[in-house]
Amino acid sequence: PVYALREAAHLIAGGDRPEPVIVETNDEFEDLAEDFNMMSDALHRHRSEMEALVESRTAELRQAEAWLGELVRSSADAIVGLDQSHRITLWNRGAHDLFGYRPAEVQGAQLSDLIGAGSAREARFIEEALARSGAIVGFSTRRRTKDGLSIPVSLTQTAVQRPGDEVIGYSVIFRDERPRELLEQQMR
């Protein structure tokens, strides 16, 4: 009986569900085998519940990830993801519409090489704001489109950090300010 219980325990440890251990000795071994079988059934139920929970949460996570991805992709504002070296890792539809570059054209490129970085003074100001607070919000500036046109934009840049404050990249959002400029001109 001990060897039968031991074999069944090895199967459980390996993730399998053993057949019930049948021991008919009318003593403690039979009682132990019955308790072992109850424990084996309880473990199997618990494992099944945990697997179902993990599967459910994984599906929820995939659904949330797909929704967030679509939210970023379809945003009217230009959303750009940068790695630590300021190379483009994400370029949404709004960025394509605003600057004229397709995602395949910009992947891995330096953002400043494509659309400019403003003056050296402006670049220092943005860099200092990022170092100080991790973000710069609603900064009015100008950037260059693919066909060389200088356009007014509002820039929001945020450092993306891991726990422990390690910067792993940047999120940059550009909003086209041409409609606002046009409205201001009309009001004047």
Whole-prediction pTM: 0.73
pLDDT given for residue 118 in this prediction = 85
Residue of 13 and 77 predicted with greater confidence: 77
Q: What's the pLDDT tens digit per position in 56-113?
A: 999 999 999 999 999 999 999 999 999 999 999 999 999 999 999 999 999 999 999 9
Q: What's the pLDDT tens digit per position in 152-185?
A: 999 999 999 988 888 999 999 999 999 999 999 9
pLDDT given for residue 50 in this prediction = 95
**b/e 50-87 (16+ beta carbons within 10 angstroms → b):** eeeeeeeeeeeeeeeeeeeeeebeeeebbbbbbeeebb
Q: What does the alpha-carbon distance between residue 120 and residue 62 come to, in Å, rounded to a whole number? A: 42
Q: Which secondary-structure segment (H or E) carries 41?
A: helix 28-74
Chain centroid to CA 184: 39
pLDDT given for residue 87 in this prediction = 96
